[in-house]
Amino acid sequence: MVPDAALPGALKQLPFASTLFFPLSGNPIGFNHLAAAEGMLRRHPAWKQVVFVLSNGRHPDPTKAGAEVDAATRLELCQMAIAGAADPARSFLAKQAAQAGDTLRLGPETAGVSTRELRQTGAVRTAQMVTWLREEAPPGQGPIAWCVGTDLVRRMADPQIFADADLPVLARECRYAVLERPGEPSAGEALALLRERRGVTLPCDVFSLADVPDWLAKFLHLSSTLIRHAAEAGDPLGGMLPGDAAEHVVRAGFYRGGRVGARLVAPDGKELGPRTQWQLAVERAQAGLDAEAQRVFDLLTRRHAATQPHGLALVEGCVGGVLTESLAGRAGASRFFRQARFAYDRQAKVNLIGEYPKEPSAASTEMVAALARALRREAQADYCVAESGAAGPPDGIRRSFKNGECWLAAVGPQGERTAHVALNPFLTRKEHMIEFSRRALALLREVVGS
């Protein structure tokens, strides 16, 4: 059994009106949770503190998998994350704030962890947790400020997840701070679905974080799932959770095994092995790249047969061979493939183009256009596509936040086209490399087919 973690005294004394309760699986806690809490404190100045209500990992929601590490470990990681959240030397979130001339409101003095649920061995319903908080609070308290995402409001419309007996308790005892984040269903749609299916109207305030400072908004693209994927892939975690917690996750090997998303079964019923959720995501991305590569392969092969311009050269930056392999690994590629160049660092790029462009960044439209033109001349190719960018999630050390971005250029007899690609910066290095390569081929196909 995990002992109750005492909150700082100041946190215990403040009334519900000054406290935002933030339910958390802690699997694991990351900068996404800290950024969301920070955004809520900025949106509602009356809240002076955030209490993360840590789950014991046994979800009553049948659509949710249990925690992958034990409750004591998740509590330790949560405490590490909160302790280092506001320190720029330990927190990439705080470092980004400092670079923007800002500071965090969230920190050890304004955040804590409720471990009430960790005393239970079975699944704890939200209504039960709310009842416990109400029973332990001094009399005369107002409604509990309970933070939820629009996805949770939608799940409240499902009677298999939230029982009929629980909804009156939840509607009576809480006032909900509904967090509406970019890319998720709107709060209005989720609340309307709950009214339509269950006849329940939640007392709530909707908070949009679409216009929070840019340095803070970036972290809202992170999730616990992406942190687990990065850990499984062996990618850096320092840009996803505070340094102490990140180091602990890496050192102990947490999440390296991955969460099983599917099991492969042979026609005879014999199990061939599992696929983790991250492996499935990589395989989906690879399937998209393979399909695009086949389209380019077929197009250039037809042009070869018709004696039309078809010779191809490639310049790769951060994708490290993925783009080349997608075409060169196919029988018949010699009909059109002329040359590929892996120009990873600045000097390699200078060696190819002869001089450095005026634009100082190695990842820019000007740079990739110069690379594509240079290798096209050197290889005496009809077409050339070049890529340069930043694969992998942020490491928490570099100041730049260009992760997940790449710049592309494709040149040919018909002219030149460029593109800038911006993906979720917290995807794994492998996913970025595959998707950048797919986008490069799509741009090449546009130029060849124009």
The pLDDT tens digits of the residues spanning 37-50 come to 999 999 999 999 99
Separation in Å, CA 53 to CA 71, 228, 289, 314, 406 = 13, 21, 41, 51, 39
The three-class DSSP label of residue 164 is coil
The three-class DSSP label of residue 43 is helix
Q: What does the angle CA 80 – CA 96 – CA 33 come to, to the nearest 5 degrees?
A: 45
Higher pLDDT, 184 or 280: 280
Mean pLDDT, residues 278-288: 97
Q: What tokens does 152 get?
A: 């949770």
- How many CB atoms are closer than 10 A to CB 362? 24
The per-residue pLDDT for range 38-95, each reduced to its tens digit, is: 999 999 999 999 999 999 888 777 777 778 888 899 999 999 999 999 999 999 999 9
Q: What per-residue string of b and e applies to 206-244 under the rule 16 or more CB within 10 Å gives b?
A: ebebeebeebbbbbbbbebebbbbbbbbebbbbbbbbbb
Dist CA 29 CA 73 (whole Å)? 11
CB 402 within 8 A of CB 384: no
Dist CA 105 CA 247 (whole Å)? 24
CB 264 within 8 A of CB 273: yes
CB 219 within 8 A of CB 31: yes
Q: Is the pLDDT of residue 251 over 60?
A: yes
pLDDT score at 181: 75
pLDDT score at 450: 77
> Side-chain half-sphere of 251: how many Cα atoms within 13 Å?
8
Dist CA 38 CA 230 (whole Å)? 24
Least confident of 163-167, 263-267, 414-418, 425-429: 263-267
- Of 448, 336, 439, which is closest to residue 387 (Cα–Cα)? 439
pLDDT score at 1: 29
- Of 246, 242, 238, 252, which is closest to residue 83 (Cα–Cα)? 242
Q: How confident is the model at residue 13 (pLDDT cuts 50, 70, 90)?
A: low
Residue type for 335, please? R
Average pLDDT in the chain: 91
Dist CA 397 CA 390 (whole Å)? 14
Dist CA 1 CA 71 (whole Å)? 9
Q: Is 85 left (phi over 0), alpha (psi -120 to 50) or beta?
A: alpha
Q: What is the largest CA-CA distance in the chain?
A: 86
pLDDT score at 138: 81
The whole-angstrom distance between residue 412's C-alpha and the CA centroid of its chain comes to: 36
Alpha-carbon radius of gyration of the chain: 26
Beta strands in 124-270 (DSSP E): 144-149, 174-180, 204-208, 260-265
- Of 350, 418, 424, 429, which is closest to residue 386 (Cα–Cα)? 418
Least confident of 97-101, 177-181, 243-247, 406-410: 177-181
The per-residue pLDDT for range 202-226, each reduced to its tens digit, is: 999 998 887 889 999 999 999 999 9
- Provide the sign of the torsion angle of the four alpha carbons 108, 111, 113, 114, taken in this order: positive
Parallel/antiparallel/unpaired status of strands 312-316 and 204-208: unpaired
Parallel/antiparallel/unpaired status of strands 405-412 and 383-390: antiparallel
Q: What tokens does 262 get?
A: 């599917």
Mean pLDDT, residues 427-447: 98
Q: What tokens does 364 get?
A: 């820019």
